[in-house]
Amino acid sequence: MLTPKQQQLLSFIQTRLEERGVSPSFEEMKDALDLRSKSGIHRLINALEERGFIRRLPNRARALEVLKLPDAMHRLPKEIPVPKAAPARLPIAANDILEIPLHGRIAAGVPIEALEGHNMLSVPAALLGAGDHYALEVSGDSMIEAGILDGDFALIQKTDVAREGQIVVALIDENEATLKYFRREGKSVRLDPANSAYEPQTYDAGQVRIQGKLAGLLRRYN
């Protein structure tokens, strides 16, 4: 059984998801429940999650999904209330910020050692499509004619295959990575820059392993 505050918060989250498709912020929840601090909201969220009424969506900032309502609140039978002419579940929060792993720096010029890291990068969801993604910070200028500049964050969709002409992360000899156009030449692989000052790089196919393809770019302006 939920406390009055837990029930009030659950109702507020559900209403916001139905109206906007986005879960409310902790500040909005605090104001709606007339609490003095957000710590009370955190406790209520944890309690609702432990009781199976809500869940946090992974890799999404402050995103919540309502899983069920108590009998005292339900408008339709037990599981999730369904608005008329809507799918059989409440809309999942459409928060537009995702967090993806940030794996070091990658050369857009000469290949450098591929780095693994434990940092995360917040990215607008609109820049990403389906599948798993990670980010690499670009180092170098060999892709400038493709609009990829030094210091950009390359948003990479994980894949081990690529089509002719796609921009990929290629791992060379299992220890160096580079961002280039992918081409095939017989049994060889050619990695083309997008800068006339650089020469294409050609390798035996067995030396090159595709680790992802470019899905988008994130740029900071200081």
- The residues assigned a catalytic role are 142, 180
> What six digits make up the tokens of 109?
């010029």
Q: Is 69 exposed, middle or buried (0-12, 13-18, 19+ CB in 10 A)?
A: buried
Q: Are 182 and 191 in contact (CB under 8 A)?
A: yes
Nearest-CA neighbor of 175 among 134, 116, 100, 102? 116
Q: Are 155 and 219 in contact (CB under 8 A)?
A: no
Q: How far apart are CA 147 and CA 16, in angstroms?
A: 39
Q: How far apart are CA 72 and CA 111, in angstroms?
A: 62
SS3 36: coil
